[in-house]
Amino acid sequence: MDKVVAGIVAKALDGGEITAAEIRTLFGVDWRSEEAFLMQHASRKMSEATAKGKGEVHGQVGVDVGPCPKNCEYCSFAAKHGVFPEARVQPTAAIVENCLGLEAAGANAIYLMATAAVALPDYLKIAGEVRAALRPETPLVANVDDFDAAGARALRKAGFAGIYHCVRLGEGQVTAIDPRVRVRTILAAKQAGLLLGTSVGPVGPEHTVEELTATTVLTRDLKPVNSAACRRINIPGLPLTAHGSVKYGRMAHILAVVRLASGYDIVGFGTHEPNGMGAMAGANLFWAEQGANPRDTSEATVRGWTVERARHLLEEAGWEPLAGPSVMFGGGQRP
Ligand code: SF4
């Protein structure tokens, strides 16, 4: 066992904040090594301690399909890819029905996802209907385009408990969004009292230890209530697809490093798509999706991950699926 790695892991487990240099060291370890398994075990212990052994499944409903001007290289909605040439917002009744279906299946929080082509006032109108239909204690989470302080206040007023927002790997290079804009949005949300869920991703095999470390530190500094590490799901024919996919075994190592770096302040730690190796390595948050999403070319996909299936996977990895509102998003305390 490498004593340096063991020392860094012990520091994290003892509640110390590991440095960027230490994070780099952990990312640099071979994912099939004894040290990588030590990290995964420690990551799991950390999640067990913060979440008291519970796991959560959050449901996400896609509001629209169509060309998105932000043109993220890995996304099926990017206008330049032409996968969805026509913009279409799903009927509100269908969105509400999907949200209610996820809630009835046991989702602990509901996310409403829209591309950057949907204007915030239109999104808020839909969200109002969803909020009114859901149980009052079910946290609603916004996954939307960047917004300012007024937008953040409007989201909070509409009954959102939090946002899912990330500074993605390669932000500004493989996307048309300045990373500073992403950070500004997150700070505005927090200022308005919205809780932050975030992640390090989408990870591809081409990402260097340096890139992973920088995003891990940035993500930690934003002080989310839950974080995650997610691999890129490749859409056939898109340019980044040529790099291939990170293996779930390597993702388990990556998520363990991000989890250890995030510390005890976050309750939950996720990975996407749900997988047993990630769940064993400390991921206790999975997402189930309805409607379209950026990793698919179909308008109405659940990508095979229903709430029930994700809950079952948590159980298989020794987590107890939480019943009721997400603890990670405030435990049902409405804004
Ligand atoms: S990832 Fe989001 S912002 Fe980027 S192109 Fe897709 S929908 Fe637009």
Domain ranges of the chain: 3-321
- The CB of 83 under 6 Å from ligand 1? The reply is no
pLDDT of residue 313: 98
Taking the centre of ligand 1 as the mean of its atom positions, its distance from the CA of residue 294, in whole angstroms, is 7
Regarding the beta carbon of 41 and ligand 1, being less than 6 Å apart is answered no
Give me the percent of the chain exceeding a pLDDT of 90: 88
Mean of pLDDT values over 261-279: 95
pLDDT band at 335 (very low <50, low <70, confident <90, very high): very low
Query: What separation in Å is there between the alpha carbon of 122 and the centre of ligand 1?
Result: 17
At the fourth CATH level, which superfamily is domain 3-321? Answer: Aldolase class I (3.20.20.70)
pLDDT given at position 321: 98
Average pLDDT value for residue range 172-189:
97
How much is the pLDDT for 277?
A: 98
**If DSSP codes are grouped into helix, strand and coil, which group holds residue 148?**
coil
When the pLDDT of each residue in the chain is averaged and rounded to a whole number, the result is 95
Distance 40 CA to ligand 1 centre (A): 31
CA distance 129 to 112: 12
Per-residue pLDDT tens digits for 225-242 = 999 999 999 988 888 999
d(CA 327, CA 329): 5
More confident residue, 186 or 299: 186
3-state secondary structure of 150: helix
120, 167, 175: which to mutate for ligand 1, most atoms within 8 A of CB? 175
- What is the band of 301 on the pLDDT scale with cuts at 50, 70, 90? low
d(C-alpha 123, C-alpha 160), whole Å = 12
Alpha helices in the chain, H assignment, sequence order: 3-13, 20-27, 34-51, 92-105, 120-133, 149-157, 179-191, 209-221, 248-262, 276-280, 307-316
> Confidence band (pLDDT; 50, 70, 90) for 333?
low
pLDDT at position 334 over 60: no
Q: CA 178, 290, 138, 63 torsion: positive or negative?
A: positive
